[in-house]
Amino acid sequence: MRYIASILFLSLCLGLSAADSSDSRYSKGRRSFDGIGKYYMGREISQVMGHLGAGWLERESRQAEERTDLLVKSLKLKSGDKVADIGAGSGYFTRRIAPIIGKEGRIYGVDIQQEMLDLLAVNMKKAGHDNYVPVLGTITDPKLPADSIDLAFMVDVYHEFSHPYEMMEGIVKSLRKGGRVVWVEYRKEDPTVPIKPLHKMSEAQVKKEAEVFPLEYVETIDVLPRQHIIVFRKK
């Protein structure tokens, strides 16, 4: 549902390489108002929100609208976990998870925009948390250490990846055996969810895109007002 385009997004659109157009995983097609005209497994990839939209992530109404407290509880975190917040942005979830995993844990705040990581650093300092690692990823690589992550989660982010296959390949490589990856996406099946269509994903579409990797489906947790929580485990 991230809909505010940034200069970074424009540069990515202009910079779509010949490799993109020739890669059989992706296809080009009609560009929707909120899309980039690039398709993956039948889904048009949406535009990305830039750092200028960070205020949306921190809006006062978010807790009530999304029940972010239930989302954090559903991640089933424990002390000492190594967690990756993919598309961490301003750190809304990073700073809520940091105290749960404790001093022995570590949370990696991954984003492709340095401006977001700068906001993350400010917000984590204000909250008094130092058990995090900022990670400047790329559009094809989350830049996480291999075989080390207990949980990687993506909140309303995956549908924006311009290279979803490559990003998931990197995320899966970062997971230890038995580690979990969680998609949190607005429910496309529900027309009453007030989010633009390309910023929603159905459970079936998530499963379709996950099954090409060595992941096994665990569960779908539908305790949130508007979003799916879809959990997979690395085989």
Distance set, CA 216 to CA 85, 126, 167 (Å): 20, 38, 18
120-178 tens-digit pLDDT? 999 999 999 999 999 999 999 999 999 999 999 999 999 999 999 999 999 999 999 99
Residue 206 corresponds to which amino acid?
V
Report CA-CA distances (Å) from 144 to 3, 59, 103, 152. 26, 29, 20, 10
Contact 91, 124 (CB under 8 A): yes
Contact 45, 159 (CB under 8 A): yes
Strand partners, 43: 40
Match 């779509």 to its residue by tokens: 16
CB under 8 Å to 115, separation ≥6 — which residues? 51
> What is the pLDDT, as a whole number, of residue 118?
95
Looking at the domain that runs over 60-234, which CATH code has it been given? 3.40.50.150
CA neighbor of 28 nearest in space, from 18, 157, 168:
18
The values of phi and psi at residue 54, to 5°, are -60, -30
**Parallel, antiparallel, or unpaired: how do β-strands 149-155 and 82-86 relate?**
parallel
Q: Tell me, what's the pLDDT at 17?
A: 41
Residues of the chain with pLDDT under 50: 1-22
Non-local (6+) Cβ contacts of 75 within 8 A are 97, 151, 153, 182
DSSP state of 63: H
Cα of 115 vs its chain's centroid, Å: 17
Task: Return the pLDDT at 60.
Answer: 85
Say what the pTM is: 0.88
Closest CA to 148 of 80, 205, 201: 80
